[in-house]
Amino acid sequence: MSKTQKFGRVVLLGRPNAGKSTLLNQIIGQKISITSPRPQTTRKNTLALFVNSRGKIIFSDTPGIMHKVEDLISKKINLKTPKELNKADLVVLLIDISRQKGEEENKVIGLARNSPAKKILAYNKIDIAKGKKDHLPDYNFLEEEFDDVISISALKSTHVKSLIEKIFDLLPVKASVGIKKDIKLMESQKSPIPGQSSDTYISEIIREKAFLVLRKELPYTVSVEIKEVKDKGNIIVIKADILTTDKRYKKMIIGKKATTIKKIGQRARKELELVSQKKVYLDLTVISDPHWPERFV
């Protein structure tokens, strides 16, 4: 193995729920990206820094490309991944082989083909792709277009270490000045997750819990805005707004006798306390604002 350290930017690409966020969390060894069974859980490019003896990598978890989008949020989300691909030294195309190939898959395959970066084809969810759920033959034709191929289970962490080794093997020997500057910037940031502001991290945790508590009842057009974070030494006080586009959704999020919003708050608070190792007071307010998607960037 070469002793020369490598530096690079790796973009994780795939359709919604292909397992990109789960894979990133396994690679880094801690929760970086929020996850849920719902599409559109990841809305922005989530950056994380991976470091080992072979070098340093900025991983980017991109939103899944959605087919036939009509709402403003989905349209904006679909624009984020192509822009991120322009920065990639290497692309990992994650394929969920437990699902049939569809238009969303065709879109991400097209994006991968158009990228000049090195590419790895990663077949994911080998732990559940059994019998009628095994759609691996639908994708075998792609293999000759990629620099390497691997089968993994992001959820079970099967072959994830091997994937990391393949990534380092394919990264350029000579890193750009830009990537080294970006890595230094991430290393200097004081945040629970390098590459994310504290407010972003907190808002994403709250949004994840809302998705998990409400499941299919919750509309896509829900967001979280952090209004205030105060570290008072022995306790962190957080005030946040949960935004939705309609008053009927507001009632749904609050729930009867405020039971639903309390459950969301309790789950978010427990995770934030685990990360911060401090007591957290979380004050959530649900607001109906039909114009918030216009502010989404």
Residues of the chain with CATH 3.40.50.300: 6-187
The pLDDT of residue 56: 95
Predicted TM-score (pTM) of the model is: 0.74
Residue 254 clears pLDDT 90, i.e. is over it: yes
CATH (residue range 198-295): 3.30.300.20
User: Do residues 73 and 66 touch, judged by C-beta distance below 8 A?
Assistant: no
In the Cβ-directed half-sphere of 30, how many Cα atoms lie within 13 Å? 9
- Asked if the model's pLDDT at residue 261 lies above 90, the reply is yes
Instruction: Give the CATH fold of the 6-187 domain.
Output: Rossmann fold (3.40.50)
| Calpha distance 22→116 (Å, rounded) | 26
pLDDT confidence of residue 16: 84
- For residue 63, the model assigns a pLDDT of 74
pLDDT tens profile 197-212? 788 889 889 988 998 8
Residue 1 scores a pLDDT above 50:
no
Predicted confidence (pLDDT) per residue in 54-84, tens digit: 999 999 888 766 555 555 555 555 555 667 7
Token pair listed for 239: 């005030």
79 compared with 226, residue with greater pLDDT: 226
The DSSP H or E segment spanning 57 is strand 55-61
- At 148-181, the pLDDT tens digits run 999 999 999 999 999 999 999 999 998 888 898 9
CATH 3.30.300.20 positions along the chain are 198-295
